[in-house]
Amino acid sequence: MPTWAQFVLLSAAKSVVVIIILLTAVAYAVWLERKVVGRMQNRWGPTRVGPFGLLQPLADGIKFILKEDIIPTNVYKPLYIAAPMISVALALMSIAVVPFGEQLRFGSFSTPAQITDVNVALLVLLGVTSVAVYGVALAGWSSNSKYSLLGSLRASAQMVSYEASLGLSLIGVLLLSGSLSLREIVNGQSGTYFGFLPRWNFFPQFIAFFVYLTAAFAETNRIPFDLPEAETELVAGYHTEYSSMKFAMFFMAEYTNMFTVACVGTLLFFGGWHGPALTFLPMVVQSFVPLFWFAFKIFLFLFLYIWIRGTLPRFRYDQLMAFGWKVLLPIALANIVLTSLYIGLTTP
């Protein structure tokens, strides 16, 4: 087989595997959220479908597919139909450059645990996530409904504003690691500080991390920044007029984005797949240990998302914008200056 055919086949196979795993993870993230928020609120969460409600995502999926797909009369159809697809496609696309671990070994065959290893992966990610705002903006505009329009206006403004802080918060990490390749950023975090503290970017860059975290919440429209779909004000925001699978696509896109920002946060600030070596495990599973650590860190991120959702109220639109531009952005800029100064003074 020629090399290019191998490459195509391998990439296709990896894409399929990653997308299946990702969508399953998304479905179970929804289950987890319902379960955890339920427990925080003295409820059980899903219990009826399967043990512990474990089949609930499946039931939800079937329900979404079988529901009547209503397209209101006055929508602009081409964009109305395209918008959820744009959202979900871009959300899935961003995962292509995310590395999940080191080499995966199956006997003599080995391949990196990543769909494509681009050397400007971080730029690709930022680019793809900023295009994602089109899905939301077009959905609101094409729905021809006032609530949708208001929701999408909010969403666009919010995503564009917080994109700036998000991007700037990452620059500190880039300065430290000197690379845009996610794999190299992670490899730069192996080892320890002072012999006990993991060499994670979180420790020197904790300001950047909090800016990133806040901006990431805003980017993914989660409480306390869930204004675009603030159900008590704008009914359901930009997806008010969507039903059935089209609604489910927005839903999937939102949760996939949560995974993406959790992945990026883990890779950039928490050493990605690095973790204590589990030497007691048999050799066969050893190559999956990094994957486990990666998944575990992402789980913690998701739990944080859910925890905050169970706790905090929602910002107001003007407060949100003021916070983004007047608080987060200056902090992110200050962090860049500080990091640059530190690097400039310590390296000859």
Partner 1 sequence: MAHLSPTPVLDAGQERTMILNMGPQHPSTHGVLRLLLEIDGETVVRMAPDIGYLHTGIEKTCEAKFYQQVVPLTDRIDYLCPMTNNLCYVLAVEKLLGLDIPPRAQWVRVMLNELTRISSHLVWLGTHALDIGAMSVFLYCFREREDCLRLFEAVSGQRMMTSYFRVGGLALDLPIGFLDRVRDFANKFPERVDEYEDLLTSNPIWERRTKGVAHMSAEDALALGVTGPALRASGVDIDLRRDMPYSSYEKFQFDVPVSSDGDVFARYILRVREMRESIKIVKQGLDGMPTGAIKADAPKVVLPDREKMKTQMEALIYHFKIVTEGFTVPAGEVYQAIESPRGEMGYYVVSDGTSKPYRVHMRSPSYANLQALAKMCEGKLIADVVAAIGSIDIVLGEIDR
The C-alpha atoms of residue 281 and residue 80 are separated, in whole angstroms, by 51
Return the H-helix or E-strand segment holding 30.
helix 3-40
In whole angstroms, the minimum distance from the beta carbon of 215 to partner 1 comes to 17
Least separation in angstroms between CB 313 and partner 1: 4
Q: Does 213 bind partner 1 (CB under 8 A)?
A: no
Contact status: 102 vs partner 1 (CB under 8 A): no
Residue placing its CB nearer to partner 1 in the complex, 38 or 198: 38
- Name the residue nearer to partner 1 (CB basis): 19 or 236: 236
Pick between residue 114 and residue 148 the one whose CB is nearest to partner 1: 148
Give the x/- contact pattern for partner 1 in 282-311, rule: CB under 8 A.
Answer: ---------------------------xxx
| H or E stretch at 290 | helix 289-309
Out of 41, 73, 346, 347, point to the residue binding partner 1 (CB under 8 A). 41
Residue 37 found at the interface with partner 1 (CB under 8 A): yes
Selection from 301, 299, 300, 275 nearest residue 288 by Cα: 275
Q: According to the binding rule CB under 8 A, does residue 40 interact with partner 1?
A: yes
Q: Where are the beta strands (DSSP E) in 290-338?
A: none
- Smallest separation (angstroms) from partner 1 to the CB of 232: 4
Is 321 a binder of partner 1 (CB under 8 A)? no
Binding of partner 1 at residue 316 (CB under 8 A)? Answer: yes
240 - beta bridge partners? none
One of 12, 58, 85, 312 touching partner 1 (CB under 8 A):
312
Residue 56: count of CB within 10 angstroms of its CB: 21
Q: Which residue stretch of 39-47, 80-88, 173-181, 335-343 sits at the interface with partner 1 (rule: CB under 8 A)?
A: 39-47
Q: Tell me which DSSP letter residue 222 carries.
A: -
Cis ω for the linkage preceding 330 (within 30 of 0): no
Q: Which residue, 234 or 298, has its beta carbon nearer to partner 1? A: 234
Closest CA to 90 of 249, 289, 237, 327: 249
Binding letters toward partner 1, positions 223-242, x by CB under 8 A = xx-xx--xxxxxx-------
**Residue 72 within binding range of partner 1, rule CB under 8 A:** no
Work out which of 315, 324, 331, 335 binds partner 1, going by CB under 8 A.
Answer: 315
Q: What is the DSSP letter of 315?
A: -
User: Mask 148-167, x = binds partner 1 (CB under 8 A)?
Assistant: --x---x-------------
77 near partner 1, rule: CB under 8 A: no
Rg (the chain; Cα; Å)? 21
Q: Is 275 exposed, middle or buried (0-12, 13-18, 19+ CB in 10 A)?
A: middle
Structure tokens at 276: 């204590």
CA distance 238 to 229: 7
Residues linked to residue 268 through DSSP beta bridges, in sequence order: none
Q: Contact at 8 Å (CB) between 112 and 187? A: no
Q: Does 44 bind partner 1 (CB under 8 A)?
A: no
Query: For partner 1, which stretch binds (CB under 8 A), given 143-151, 161-169, 242-250, 274-282?
Result: 143-151
H and E: helices and strands count for the chain: 14, 4
Residues that bind partner 1 (CB under 8 A): 37, 40-43, 146-147, 150, 154, 223-224, 226-227, 230-235, 309-319
